[in-house]
Structure 1
């Protein structure tokens, strides 16, 4: 059972928003000598979940070959991480063949950036071991500048729009 490091925040989402949940398997190299997942590796697990969310989140009516929240981004545009914030609320002990559960949603949509929020759990019925927010900027490599969100991308992101993570700070 994970040790509790403080009260875990309760996430309240807007009634319209959806949440994407995925399982991420920890690797043996993720654990430290004490047998728990290192704090840096927890961010790696969350980043892998973010990648799955952006690439594979289900959306109705996608065109043939279209997948994920960024399917409508122009060619030559990719997302870059602008900033990340994380708080740890419980120990993440490594258990073989027991994946971590990551729940993700969009907590802010700007002109050319958006924020992905997440809760990471060790057990499905447990509280979050970590909460996280990651600001993503859509970057146009040809123009070498931020790419303004199109109406299509904005609509896809809004499908998963919910409340920001409540950090203890």
Structure 2
């Protein structure tokens, strides 16, 4: 796995499988979300992060099937004033299955963009990866 500095193991469930007998394409986004929440909990120290997704990209490389073991690497591609971009490396049994990116905007209680807290910034910078990955 590319060195993303953080990874989450996710077990595909039977309900993730579609009629083509592989994990449905939309479920990859759920795997990214699960890994992102674990990343925020373990790296930033926050389970509740007030963000909205401004952009989401997924590139599919190969199907994920039962009983594949799924590993989702998470790394920080960019840190802005009010946003951050995370990159994802999704692997099934060690082989590349998909990659993705999400851009989150930090928002206040009124839903307006707000600056990233300094302690979050430090934790995120420690997990920065080469944006070209």
Q: Does the pair score TM above 0.5? A: yes
Match of residue 125, structure 2, among 158, 166, 169? 158
* Partner residue, 2:56: 84
More strand by share: 2
Cα 1:107–1:78 shift into 2, 3 Å: same
TM-superposed deviation, 1:19: 1.2
CA contact (8 A) 1:77 1:147 kept: no
CA contact (8 A) 1:118 1:165 kept: no
User: Structure 2: how far apart are the matches of 1:42 and 1:111?
Assistant: 28
Q: Count the aligned residue pairs.
A: 133
User: Structure 2: how far apart are the matches of 1:48 and 1:37?
Assistant: 15
Cα 1:165–1:91 shift into 2, 3 Å: farther
Match of residue 134, structure 1, among 91, 99, 102? 102
Does 1:48 pair with 2:39?
A: no
How high is the TM-score relative to the length of structure 1? 0.71
After superposing on structure 2, the runs of 4+ consecutive aligned residues of structure 1 that deviate more than 3 Å are none
CA contact (8 A) 2:40 2:49 kept: no
How high is the TM-score relative to the length of structure 2? 0.89
CA contact (8 A) 1:77 1:140 kept: no
Match of residue 115, structure 2, among 127, 136, 148? 148
> Larger Rg: 1 or 2?
1
Match of residue 75, structure 2, among 94, 102, 105? 105
Cα 1:77–1:99 shift into 2, 3 Å: closer
